[in-house]
Chain A
Amino acid sequence: MEIFVQQFINALALGGTYALLALGLAMVFSVLGLINFAHGELMTITGYAMFFAIAAGIPFPIAVILGIAAATLAAILMERIAFRPVRDANTATMLLTSFAVSTILHMLFQNLISARPKAIPVPDWMIGAINLGGLSIGVIQVMSITATTLLLLALTVFLRRSILGIAMRAASLDFPVTRLMGINANAVIATAFGISGLLAGVAGVLWLAQRGSVDPLMGFLPVLKAFIAVVLGGLGSLPGAVLGGFVLAFIEVSLRAFLPDDWLPFRESITLTLVIILLLVRPEGLLGRKDAVR
């Protein structure tokens, strides 16, 4: 029983990070119809911002804030520089643009900063664990669960209460009509990118605290997981992205925890097979709309 609870908490913490990333992808998708494959590079930018901040002697908590701010700013710049000029082109063009942005950033990091990983020393208190009657919950796990909960609450309030938030939800349903209501398209899209950058920044800090270093290619794998989560949850659905992130994490952690040893080499293929089965049963994703355009 204890081991079940422990693995449940493990999955919850991992799911939080996936959910933050998936939500960032989904925010942009819902207004632009674009899966931004350069999303992972926003985490890398958080990492380098933290690395340079710490190297300059700035205390860790402020470096964290600078890192998140850097990702937010980078996301807004990405939209302004790379995506706005091709906004009216078809989705394939935008998709390729996002791959181009990602590759260009990889090369810049490799050639201007370093191809080798840069260490980000994490304070010792973040490495420890809290012991609760046989359970051990890592500080980073607690932070992951807390950050996810707080951000999801804040985002829900923003999307339900503020004009811009309501406009964003409207835009995700029907952008042309939203514009006819007098909503500024640039503001909506820039905000979506800004929020996705903020979420990527927070996920980046949690990710970096685990790995202790930043390297040029670190964003690739998380964005892939987030993409699976978004598809699983239903493209275009924000709650779906969050649910998708948690479901993916639960599948991954339970397979790693409870699969017989002989089966372990196949865990990733089993994960993806389960995802495919879920999509066969619900082609529009867990919380996707039946009429969604893909």
Chain B
Amino acid sequence: MRIPGYLKATAAALLLAGTSMSTAVQADDHEIKIGYAGGFTGYLAPYDQPSLKGVQLAVDQLNAAGGILGMQIELIVKDTRTDTAQSAVAAQELVDEGVVAMIVSCDVDPAVASGVIAQAAEIPAASSCASTPTLPDAVGPYMFSNYTADNLQAAVLASYAREQGYENAYILLSRDTPYTEKLPEYFAEAFQAMGGNLVAVGEYATGQQDFSAEVTKIKGLDPQPDVIQTAAYEPDFPAFIKQLRAAGIDTPVLGSDGIDSPTTFGLGDVAEGVVFSNAGFASPGSPLEAYEVAYEAKYGEPNDTVFTATGYDLMMVIAAAIEAAGSTDGPAIRDAWDNLENVEVATGLITYKDQNRVPVRVVALNMVSGGERVHVGDYSPDPSMIPAP
């Protein structure tokens, strides 16, 4: 291939500019480096891309307010392509570049791959939105969770179900991911602990689309369930609920945060009355409402998922941990992070103290009504009601 001369010149100039820029960054001691090794392409992109937008908004706000410990934040972002091996490589690159804390992918496997690298380097790390409560212990004391844990959400849904007087529950799970398998199981455990009865467990494969066989089975159950709980999300949840309602089954359905997406609100009549848990509701005057305004100002479009807000929250937690540690030393940040209490973030308050690195945060229940989101309430369940991970 022939490359025109002027293109070569431009490329050389860009290359030179690039080199000089990176040396300038290295020479500057007044920067604090935070790394994000996330799945920005591949199957985690729907979660890590929004998380990153929230993280960037937090970095902008923190830097505008003077940074952390008087130093500006430099965010270094690496794409893992949702590949587990690449997640380890990206984490190692971040360690080599001198990050003081690391955000890793939204799913357990790549998060563990990155986490063990951070653990070995004594750099605290947290997954952007993995919700499996056993994740931090799978890696070690430098690994934290950020997102609402599955057992916490399940406990809130179960207590809501009992409040509504539901006696018999049916759960639909998929063993393809820990989230779609464990959350309904935690729900069943909590629901039974609260005196409810589990009628049957249905199974599906992620992406199977066709739920006719499962729906026909539900129709034949005796006793009929009063409530159906599932952690299915797109594309399974819309397909399931359409086929369920088409078969004339109008049993209430409880979902989890995976269905907090415009698709759910665009489903029309079939989704009417579906209640789902998520990390927060933007009620008037709430910090989340202020966050949504700032988000729209930065990106020019309204926020359409809570994952941006939880990304923002995580960056704020990291800033609080470093401020509390008073240094950029890994072990000091880790200890400070593990003792954080009631940090004010976009979705409410987050506490890490005495929680074994899985945070306690508010769980909001929302109802789909007329294609809109209606706030049912914010719940902080009694720790004794939360099923053990």
Contacts and interface: CB of A to CB of B under 8 A. Distances in A.
Interface in B292-333: 304-305
B235 interface: yes
Interface in A231-278: 252-253, 256-257, 261, 264-265, 267-268
B50 A210 contact: no
Contacts of B266: 119-121, 212-213
A91 interface: no
Interface in B211-246: 212-214, 216-217, 220, 234-236, 238-239, 242-243, 245-246
A61 B312 CA distance: 41
Nearest to A249: B210
B18 interface: no
Nearest to A15: B210
A243 B243 CA distance: 25
B235 A211 contact: yes
Contacts of A268: 205
B301 to A, nearest CB: 10
B238 A213 contact: yes
Given A116-B304, A117-B234, A257-B216, A211 B43 contact: no
A141 interface: yes
B216 A127 contact: no
Contacts of A10: 210, 212-213, 216
Contacts of A207: 209
Contacts of B238: 210-213
A117 B235 contact: yes
B41 A212 contact: no
A213 B213 contact: no
A124 B270 CA distance: 9
B212 A13 contact: yes
Contact of A210 (B209, B216, B248, B269): B209
B213 A7 contact: yes
A120 B41 CA distance: 23
Contacts of A136: 246-248
Q: Report the contact-size class of chain B (Cβ under 8 Å from the partner).
A: 35 or more
Contact of B263 (A3, A141, A213): A213
B245 A127 contact: yes
A212 B247 contact: no
A265 B217 contact: no
Contact of A256 (B214, B247, B262, B267): B214
Contact of A116 (B248, B261, B269): B261
Q: Which of B49, B201, B217, B246 counts the most A-chain CB atoms under 10 A from its CB?
A: B246
A129 interface: yes
Contacts of A122: 268
Contacts of A7: 212-213, 216
Nearest to A268: B205
A216 interface: yes
Given A110-B45, A119-B261, A216-B45, 14 more contacts: A3-B220, A14-B210, A115-B41, A117-B263, A119-B263, A121-B267, A122-B268, A138-B243, A207-B209, A211-B234, A212-B263, A217-B43, A218-B235, A261-B200
5 contacts: A115-B40, A115-B41, A121-B266, A212-B234, A215-B235
